[in-house]
Structure 1
Amino acid sequence: MTTPPPLSPLLPILDAIRIRQTGDPALMALISGVYDWVPESATYPYIVIGEATEIPDNRHRGYGWQTTITQHVWTRHRGHSKGLAIGARVTALLDHQPLTVTGFHHVVTRFEFQQTLTDPEPPGDIRHLVLRYRVITEQPN
């Protein structure tokens, strides 16, 4: 009889990322907050932990998952330099760094891409940086 797979690692991954980011003084000096829902009172710049996908990545020895996490950096700045500086700090915190994912074995987190966007609405000073990371986890032994 095989052991049933544990529940999805998605929520523990999101929690681990939020804890890593909000616990970093260098990142928090650059932003006003890390949100999954942005309050009306939020001020630029900030990070939104956004969309995620999760696919099975099973192995002979057990269950595994590949989870992609999209993050959005929002700034009110002419040009992308401020958002890119924030994105660089986020990547330094996550890319190939150990992550404590409660209930799961964290294998690796990899940076996948970033994209700069400009909000076309006047006055045209809102910038958006999209970042995506792939988090690979396995069933604990």
Structure 2
Amino acid sequence: MELNSIKPADGSKHAKRRVGRGIGSGLGKTAGRGHKGQKSRSGGYHKVGFEGGQMPLQRRLPKRGFKSHLLKFNAEVSLSELDKLGLAEVDLAALKQAGLVGSIAKVVKIIKRGELTKAVKLNGIGATAGAKAAIEAAGGSIA
């Protein structure tokens, strides 16, 4: 084999369709663009969502909802994850180190999902009412 004899595999390459090259080609005259109108002309097209001047659908529908940009700093940890952690005292740094919350998290809340068997003391971490009752029932506390 020589570098000058290398060819692509059979069928992997095919000739580009050449339009507007006479009636014998099958794509002469209008070159597959039909007759008249914006789409038939060179450079004639429109932006995404344009409906010919009619108010576009994305503008006809009402705006709805709100998403706070501060939510990315909030995180949740379940009771079962807290139980698996196995620490007597838990704070934000310990949760970040264990990988239970993201590195940008500022506010962490314990939620009541799963069971807690060990006594855990929480420092600077919030808890829902149900989670707080479960933590205190297991002999833990929230500071």
* Structure with higher strand content: 1
Larger relative contact order (C-alpha < 8 A, sep ≥ 6)? Answer: 1
Which structure has the greater CA radius of gyration?
2
Q: TM-score band, normalised by the shorter chain?
A: under 0.3
What TM-score comes out, normalization by structure 2 length? 0.22
